[in-house]
């Protein structure tokens, strides 16, 4: 192995087949005790919902086979518990274990959204306290915790604006979106019924429109958007406030707003009664309606509140550390990778692969080679205004030592790209699965396992 790879080394890694391939008729991973209630006939109890036959091909395996199967698979994966996750725009922070502990407490994890509100006062107080914390952080006047993702938060914000403008008799038709925006932005605008007007970026990567300036930064604890004249904003709790995310969820994207938009908030709305009791108010005449069942992803909201309360005023330092880490990496990699824009970096830094492309190495190659060095790849090819982008976000979670290891790895890969480009272009070399045919995998994915055809007697 390359002696410059300090973070990773080869080790025993067990092979593992599909769970279906371990199946054998009659195996099972549990043993139920004798019934202590009268036996029921499933077909009679379930009626039309009764499944008459089992699931064809469903694996029959023992408990230890199940445990070993998924444990072995887990050793093939990267995780924030193993090392740095520098995915730009994704904000892959460490998820403090105390947050997980709190979210699993009896009385929090065990409550049901349909139980009477009189029995849910503790959970409602958690939601109310989170609302107050987020309003203080953002400087806004009102908030809804319903949206369960960033894109849904975007949509909720636009629906609030649309409802307000329609009420004013000025519905408008267009939404201005920078060409550096996330792909969900134009999609959200179209779903909300608007036309998209694209705004080009200038030479420094910022919006280049007369009188229009755009501020993009992670400002938690430093700047309150509400003080800057912002009318509505969404927050990704599964990013800024450290709750686990990835693989499609779970997430939470609360939307904070100014007073003029408050009448249009999604219902039900959490309110305080005269006796101090909390209640969910189901009817508001101007509300845009529900955007999510129940009260969003409650467990995610609990984790976010635990994070905020643990930091307290220190949430400002968390932001400062994230910005410091990004700029530390930028300073050490400037010149090694092209820096397309000279403006100051905030919590992310974006390079391009222009220097490495001279030797036929692109951002995807560099990202895959980074795996051999023990790091998860950064975000490739985003933002779209930077050809061959390398978007790096270390967050405040990473130590000085971890950032140094990452910097050394990136420098080593740049050297390889200049002297031995084939090593980078054919990476990764140490993973169980080598580089895939990504076009083929996307166009002809194999999504279902099929058992091998039984061998004939003649073949035996």
User: CA 295 to CA 316: how far, in whole Å?
Assistant: 28
DSSP state of 207: B
Crossing angle of helices 150-167 and 184-191, in 10° steps, is: 40
- Give the HSE-up count for residue 187: Cα atoms under 13 Å, Cβ half-sphere: 7
CATH number of 100-314: 3.40.640.10
Is residue 108 within 8 Å of 126, Cβ to Cβ?
Answer: yes
Is residue 1 within 8 Å of 9, Cβ to Cβ?
Answer: yes
pLDDT in single tens digits along all 460 residues of the chain = 577 888 777 777 778 888 988 888 888 888 889 999 998 888 888 888 887 777 777 889 999 999 999 998 888 888 888 889 898 888 888 888 899 999 999 999 999 989 999 999 999 999 999 999 999 999 999 999 999 988 999 999 999 999 999 999 988 898 888 888 888 889 999 999 999 988 888 777 777 655 354 634 344 566 676 676 889 999 998 888 888 776 666 889 999 999 999 999 999 999 999 888 999 999 999 999 999 988 788 999 999 999 999 988 888 998 999 999 999 999 999 999 999 998 889 999 999 999 999 999 999 999 999 999 999 999 998 888 899 999 999 999 999 999 999 999 999 999 999 999 999 999 999 888 888 888 888 899 888 877 666 555 544 4
Read off the pLDDT of residues 141-164 as tens digits, 9 standing for 90 and up.
999 999 998 899 999 999 999 999
What is the pLDDT, as a whole number, of residue 452? Answer: 67
DSSP symbols for 9-48: ----------GGGG--TT--S--PPPPSS----HHHHHGG
Report the predicted TM-score, pTM, of the whole model to 2 decimal places: 0.84
What is the pLDDT, as a whole number, of residue 217? Answer: 38
β partners of residue 195: 174
Domain residue limits, the chain: 100-314, 321-443
DSSP state of 350: E
Residue 213 neighbours by CB under 8 Å, 6+ apart: 206, 207
Residue 200 burial by CB count (10 A; 0-12/13-18/19+): exposed, middle or buried?
exposed
DSSP state of 447: -
CATH number of 321-443: 3.90.1150.10
Is residue 89 within 8 Å of 382, Cβ to Cβ?
Answer: yes
- Locate all alpha helices (DSSP H) within 75-149, ordered by sequence: 97-103, 121-138
Is residue 227 within 8 Å of 246, Cβ to Cβ?
Answer: no
Is residue 260 within 8 Å of 160, Cβ to Cβ?
Answer: no
What is the pLDDT, as a whole number, of residue 329? Answer: 97
């Amino acid at each position: 192995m390359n002696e410059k790879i300090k973070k990773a080394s080869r080790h025993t890694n067990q092979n593992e087949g599909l769970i279906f391939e371990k199946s054998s008729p009659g195996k099972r991973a549990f043993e139920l005790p004798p019934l202590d209630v009268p036996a029921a006939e499933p077909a009679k109890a379930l009626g039309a919902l009764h499944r008459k036959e089992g699931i064809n091909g469903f694996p029959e395996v023992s408990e230890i086979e199940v445990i070993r199967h998924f444990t072995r698979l887990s050793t093939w994966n990267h995780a924030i518990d193993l090392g740095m996750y520098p995915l730009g725009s994704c904000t892959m922070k460490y998820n403090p274990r105390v947050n997980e502990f709190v979210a699993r407490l009896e009385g929090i994890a065990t409550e049901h959204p349909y139980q009477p509100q009189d029995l849910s006062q503790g959970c409602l107080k958690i939601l109310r306290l989170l609302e107050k914390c987020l309003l203080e952080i953002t400087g806004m006047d009102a908030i809804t915790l319903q949206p369960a993702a960033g894109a849904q938060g975007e949509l909720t914000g636009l629906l609030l604006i649309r409802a307000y403008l329609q009420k004013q008799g000025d519905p408008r038709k267009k939404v201005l979106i920078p060409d550096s925006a996330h792909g969900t932005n134009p999609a959200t605008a179209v779903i909300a019924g608007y036309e998209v007007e694209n705004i080009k970026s200038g030479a420094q990567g910022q919006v280049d429109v007369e009188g229009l300036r755009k501020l993009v930064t992670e400002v938690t604890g430093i700047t309150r958007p509400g003080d800057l004249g912002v009318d509505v904003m969404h927050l990704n709790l599964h990013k800024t406030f450290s709750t686990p995310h990835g693989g499609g969820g779970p997430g939470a994207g609360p939307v904070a707003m100014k007073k003029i938009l408050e009448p249009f908030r999604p219902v039900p709305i959490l309110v305080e009664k005269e006796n101090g009791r909390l209640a969910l108010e189901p009817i508001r005449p101007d509300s845009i309606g529900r955007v999510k069942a129940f009260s969003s992803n409650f467990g995610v909201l609990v984790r976010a509140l635990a994070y905020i309360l643990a930091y307290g005023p220190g949430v400002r330092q968390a932001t400062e550390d994230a910005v410091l880490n990004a700029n530390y990496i930028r300073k050490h990699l400037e010149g090694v990778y092209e820096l397309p824009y000279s403006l100051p970096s905030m919590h992310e830094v974006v390079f391009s692969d222009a220097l490495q492309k001279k030797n036929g190495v692109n951002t995807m190659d560099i990202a895959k080679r980074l795996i051999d060095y023990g790091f998860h790849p950064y975000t490739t090819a985003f933002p779209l205004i930077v050809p061959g982008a390398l978007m790096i976000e270390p967050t405040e979670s990473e130590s000085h030592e971890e950032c140094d290891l990452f910097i050394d790895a990136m420098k080593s890969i740049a050297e390889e790209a200049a002297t031995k480009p084939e090593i980078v272009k054919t990476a990764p070399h140490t993973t169980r699965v080598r580089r895939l045919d990504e076009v083929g995998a996307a166009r002809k994915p194999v999504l279902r396992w099929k058992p091998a055809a039984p061998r004939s007697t003649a073949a035996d």
